[in-house]
Amino acid sequence: MNDKARTPNALRNWLSRRMHVLLLVLGLALLVATLAVWTVDRFGCRAETSCDTLGSLNRAADAEQFEAVIWQTTSEPGIQAATPAAHAPASATVAITPLRWMMFMDSMAIVPAYLGLLVIFLVFLSRDAAVWVDENRGSPWWFVSDWKLQLACGLAVAAAIFDIAENGMTVRAAEDALEQLLADPTVADVHLATRLKWTFIALTSALLGVRALAASRREQDMRREAGHWLVAGALACGTTFLLLLVGEYGQFDMVRSIGAVTFGLELLLVGTALWKATSADDAISHSQEQGTLAT
Amino acid sequence: MRAVSGYLANFIRGSTRCMFPIASLVVWLLLLVIPQGNDVLRTALERLQDNSVSDLVFLGAASLLLSLSIWYSMRWLLSAEMASLPLSGPPDSFSRIALPRIAGAAVPALVMVVVAWPGNFRRVPTTSLWLVAGAFGALTLALLYFFWGRAALATWLFGPTGDMNGATGRTASGAPGTLAEGQPLPVFTIRLLGWTLFISGLLAVVFLLFGLTVPRAVGAAAIAALALASINLFGSFVLTYLPMRNGLPPLAQWVLLYAVAIGAFNDNHGPRDAKVLTPVVAVRTSPADSFLSWSKDLPDGATYYIVAAEGGGLRAGFWTAAILQEMEKQLPGFSQRVFALSGVSGGAVGVAVWAAASRERLCPLTPAGAVAPAPVSGGPSATKILASDFLAPSIAGLFYDDLTQRFVPFPFAPLDRSRGLEEGWERAAYRVPGRPLESTMDGFYEGCDRLPELLLNSTVAETGQRAILTRLSTTGFVDTYDLHRVQLSTSRQTVAALALQSARFPLITPAGSVREAPADDQGVFARFFAGWWPDTKLRLVDGGYFDNSGIQTALEVLTQIQSTPKGKRLKPVLLVISSEAGEQHLCGPATADALCPLPLTTQPQMPPPVWRWLHESTPPLRGLFNVRDSHIRILAKRAVREFGLQVVVLPPPLSVDGLEAPLGWALSTRTREDLLDGAPVSLKPYAAALRLQK
């Protein structure tokens, strides 16, 4: 047995006891924040028709296109000026307040929520779902040890940091666009951060999927069903992220993509709830037989 | 007496143990109170008016992390038993428990005090000030509650048997004071250190990948706090706690020694070639010949201008650009009458950016095959370009990229912190038609001989000589190192990089290495070896060490011009764009006959106060530093007396608060507005003599 893993830890126990509450809070936060961002994106801009600012910014290939999106969404309705300077709002930097707000909500609510969910799922699938292994014994590679779990959480943290960096860069790029100082490399930086974010989330989702699959194959009946939900959730997230990553997001509505990801995470939530709803006795005895840990 | 010596011994031992947290706190305090730090905070406060809270949120988060880092490390360093440096009193004595908590909470408290300090931010709305000061005050209180009440918090959360595996330190298993010597750190602490290293590395990667964009979004103050938090945890545990628990002294000095030892192999401050290399003109013209060609259409008696722009960071750069823009506004066609721009340090940046922004006006780009020149699209003005934040990328480069490089024995050019300024200027001027700042010096003038001649002054560290970065021949200049040779890397650098060779602000920017220009057919191995053991010819430091005014170079240009018949028939005006607000005394009130009437005073009107501290060591340093100002006064006087020139000295204004713009690489909106508003005011006394239109 791994001594470190067996060390009594109140924080872990507390997390285990309160996990359903935490998951509910984080899931709700994710849903509400996504909905809020979607609402502002659709109706917060100043263009005559509804906007898709985030998607358009992601599709902007260079500074000129990026600038055009910013000016389109910040100018007064009905004005179609040839140059940005011709329809500059009274206070240009205030004009991007809806974008600022969306990025703020993303950084302060959506990112922490999905980071929290990913970390909890990783910890749950690694510890509670009985694929924790003794490092000193030979075991399949997809079983996790402590350092592998830390590393997996590191992937999720990397995704969150690149996401926050992307948000900050987007707002600064929008400010530069209003001042006509935006450079192509700045837009390229924003896109690179986006791709890195999707890469790391996709990797984390893939890990979740592998672990959920490993967990469900070891269980029976309800728990196997729950495992399938978990696999489906991870697959939904992973596929969305993968599609976004390989460059197809040019055809994507950004907010709809976030919705798809949210749906995947909700599937994971359902799977976790089902898993937790079933008695843990069988799992514990099963794990003990296999020499694995289920705390 | 014994009690006093006991306290003193404890103080010295405790300070030695806590050198990293104490140093971090002192650096944080200094960063907040220096004028540039104040201006960074002002920028964050100003952005509240634009509904932007990101700077303050990042600053708050970074302050929180630095606070926790200082508290946690001091707690371990003061509570643990260390045989080599014992502290008297029990591990849970009040001072050993309370000091870490107070030091930790001091981080946001200092921000609160600086923001709320009366008169610090006079023109920021009071509501914003109180809001921000209140937020940081609340953070301080929350941290103090956490430090003192975390055990109760843990009991409330986890129940009476709560054990956070060392996180709380209230239980026997993980408290620093209860660990016997030789016992390893608790899992929680090891994980914390692991995660600190991981996140620091991740941030370093982020700052490396997005060296210009992310630092601007995060802000200089938050970057500094994040870096200090990481450095403190690493220094406190890896370099202090672990060795001292094992009977060794702190290892910081050994690590520094290692960095010095490998310093010969990791010089990453080498030159970066321009993307488009324009061949260096083989036969370079002298200033006199160039002037003859440039002035051929000027009638006799016409006025022409030579500009000398003083150094002084972005303050000097922005002020130079503001003055030159204002001159163009009040004297249409001014840019066509400027023959040469001699700049030093920030002044060199100002003249280079202004020349780049004026290029389209002087020589509109003509699309290939078009009959008429392309319409003037405008492009951003010089002051707009210089309004960007160039400090945050430099700070990120200093604390993350270059700090990492100092401990790696192979040079990695992308880790050079000079990129923050060099590429920052290039990117800020990206929308200037033709992107002239990204050209080499020869490319800058290709197809546009009407552009003023740039003379960017630097100093050769090895000889103390002046080095002038210009396309003109420098053979006529006294004791000047010629850097614009085909064999040298400077002939392949961009104009922005050449301006940086002049603006080597100590610490923020390292000395620039000048090397042999690499052969184009160099193999991979030769290239690697050349990078690892480069043939560095010399290092360039700030031009201000030789002459911070640029007047010396400007006068030598004038001497050469006036040796020609045409030069004698034209009327030169020397515009001295000063960066020190106290230099009004250089000239008396301007009259129609004399723009800068003699006698010039030889002493400052208001001598600065004498320092009472460090009187053995600081006077020579102050003398060396201040002699630059004396040099400027002598040169200005010489210009008037010996050359009979019309000299216009234009110092920047003080703000309405009576403050000088800060010396650094970022300016708040208010400071920029003060400088822009001050430009017409400074020019007003010369309006009649220079025939300005308003």
pLDDT in tens, B514-541: 887 766 666 777 766 766 777 788 899 9
Q: Which residue has the higher pLDDT, B607 or B54?
A: B54
Q: Which domain holds residue B573?
A: 287-362+381-390+423-502+536-608+645-690
Contact between chains at A171 and B157 (C-beta distance less than 8 A): no
Residues of B with CB under 8 A from a CB of A: 50-54, 57-58, 154, 157-159, 161-165, 167, 187, 191, 194-195, 198-199, 202-203, 206, 209-210, 212-214, 216-218, 380, 384-385, 387-388, 427-428, 430-431
**DSSP assignment, residue B488?**
B
What mean pLDDT do residues B477-488 have? 85
The answer to whether A86 contacts chain B (CB < 8 Å) is no
More confident residue, B254 or A78: B254
Q: Least CA distance to B61: which residue of chain A?
A: A108
Q: Is the pLDDT of residue B588 over 90?
A: no
What confidence score (pLDDT) does residue B375 get? 45
Average pLDDT over residues B131-155: 92
CB spacing of B54 vs A13 below 8 angstroms: no
Q: Are B290 and B474 in contact (CB under 8 A)?
A: no
* Same domain? B427 vs B304: yes
**Distance from the B94 Cα atom to the nearest Cα atom in chain A, whole angstroms:** 28
Give the CATH number, domain containing residue B444. 3.40.1090
Give B656's pLDDT tier (boundaries 50, 70, 90).
low
Residue B407 to chain A, least CA–CA distance (Å): 24
Q: Which pLDDT belongs to residue B690? A: 78
Domain for residue B465, yes or no?
yes
Q: Maximum Cα–Cα distance for chain B, whole Å? A: 97
Cα B406 to chain centroid distance, Å, stands at 19
Residue-level pLDDT at B457: 96
Would you say residue B334 has pLDDT above 50?
A: yes
**Does one domain contain both B298 and B167?**
no
ipTM attached to this prediction: 0.88
Q: Do A181 and B158 touch (CB under 8 A)?
A: no
What pLDDT is attached to residue B171? 43
| B157·A14 Cβ contact <8 A | yes
- What integer is the mean pLDDT of A270-295? 52
Residue B458's H or E segment, with its range, is strand B453-460
Which pLDDT score, from 0 to 100, does residue A216 have? Answer: 67
What is the C-alpha separation between A24 and B666, in angstroms, rounded? 45
% pLDDT > 70, chain A: 51
Q: Which of B128, B154, B183 is the last residue of a domain?
A: B183
Would B684 be classed as within a structural domain?
Answer: yes
Would you state the pLDDT for residue B487? 77
Smallest CA–CA separation between B454 and chain A, in Å?
A: 24
For residues A219-233, give the mean pLDDT: 67
Q: Is residue B76 part of a domain?
A: yes
Residue A3: pLDDT over 50: no
Q: How confident is the model at residue A144 (pLDDT cuts 50, 70, 90)?
A: low
Output the pLDDT for position B535: 77
DSSP of B151-202, one letter per residue? HHHHHHHH-TT---TTSSS-STTT-GGGPPTTPPPPHHHHHHHHHHHHHHHH
Mean pLDDT across B105-109: 97
Contact list in B for residue A181 (CB cut-off 8 A) is: 380, 384-385, 388, 428, 430-431
Residues B314 and B461 in one domain: yes
Q: Is B307 helix (H, G, I), strand (E, B) or coil?
A: strand
Give A223's pLDDT tier (boundaries 50, 70, 90): low
Domain co-membership, B578 together with B445: yes
In a domain, B401, yes or no: no
State the nearest Cα–Cα gap between B291 and chain A, in angstroms.
Answer: 34
Q: Is residue B397 part of a domain?
A: no
Question: CA angle, corner A222, sides to A218 and A228, nearest 5?
Answer: 65
Indicate yes or no: CB of B218 within 8 angstroms of CB of A173: no
Task: Between A86 and B356, name the one with better pLDDT.
Answer: B356
Does the pLDDT value for residue B166 go beyond 60?
no
Tell me, yes or no, whether B315 and B431 share the same domain: yes
- Option in B51, B163, B167 nearest A100 (CB): B51
Give the closest of B50, B154, B213 to A94, CB-based.
B50
- Higher-pLDDT residue of A65, A249: A65
Which two three-digit tokens encode residue B102?
């107070």
Nearest CA in chain A to B208: A189
Q: pTM of the prediction? A: 0.87
A108 contacts in B (CB within 8 Å)?
57
Q: Could you tell me the two tokens for B592?
A: 């129609």
Could you tell me the CA-to-CA distances from A14 to A21, A66, B541 in Å, in that order?
11, 47, 59
Domains in chain B: how many in total? 2
| pLDDT tens digits for range B395-425 | 999 999 999 999 999 888 899 999 999 999 9
Residue B102 has pLDDT above 80, yes or no: yes
Choose one of B157, B183, B209: the last residue of a domain: B183
> Are residues B351 and B487 located together in one domain of the fold?
yes
pLDDT for A243: 62
Q: Are residues B323 and B435 in the same domain?
A: yes
For residue A83, the distance in angstroms to the closest alpha carbon of chain B comes to 10
Identify whether residues B482 and B600 lie together within a single domain.
Answer: yes
Query: What is the average per-residue pLDDT within B61-86?
Result: 92
pLDDT value at residue B639: 81
% pLDDT > 90, chain B: 50
Provide, rounded to the nearest whole percent, the portion of chain B with pLDDT above 70: 89
Distance from A219 to chain B by nearest Cα, in Å?
31
Residues of chain A found within 8 Å of residue B387, distances taken between Cβ atoms: 179
Residues near B334 by beta carbon (within 8 Å), at least 6 away in sequence? B305, B324, B327, B328
H/E stretch holding B537: strand B536-541
Contacts of B427 in chain A (CB under 8 A): 183, 185-186
Q: Does A97 touch chain B (CB under 8 A)?
A: yes
Out of B154, B198, B427, closest to residue A186 by CB: B427
Would you say residue B437 lies in a domain? Answer: yes
Percentage of residues in chain A having pLDDT higher than 90: 16
CA B421 to chain centre: 8
- Token look-up 């400052």 returns B604
C-beta separation of B101 from B26 below 8 A: no
**B510 part of a folded domain:** no
In chain B, the residue whose alpha carbon lies closest to the alpha carbon of A64 is B431
Contacts of B385 in chain A (CB under 8 A): 181
- Average pLDDT score over chain B: 86
For an interface test with A, give the residue of B210, B432, B672 to mutate (most A CBs within 10 A). B210
Q: Does residue B87 belong to any structural domain of this protein?
A: yes
Which domain-ending residue is among B158, B183, B208? B183
The H or E element that residue B423 is part of is helix B419-428
B431·A91 Cβ contact <8 A: no
Find which of A213-217, B95-99, B272-276, B552-556 is predicted with most confidence, using mean pLDDT. B552-556
Do residues B46 and B668 lie in contact, with contact meaning Cβ atoms separated by under 8 Å?
Answer: yes
- Co-location of B155 and B297 in the same domain: no
What residue type is assigned to position B449 of the chain?
D
Residue A87's pLDDT is 43
Give the closest of B51, B165, B213 to A186, CB-based. Answer: B213
Question: Per-residue pLDDT for B114 more than 90?
Answer: yes
Task: Give B646's strand partners.
Answer: B573
What does the pLDDT read at residue B169? 42
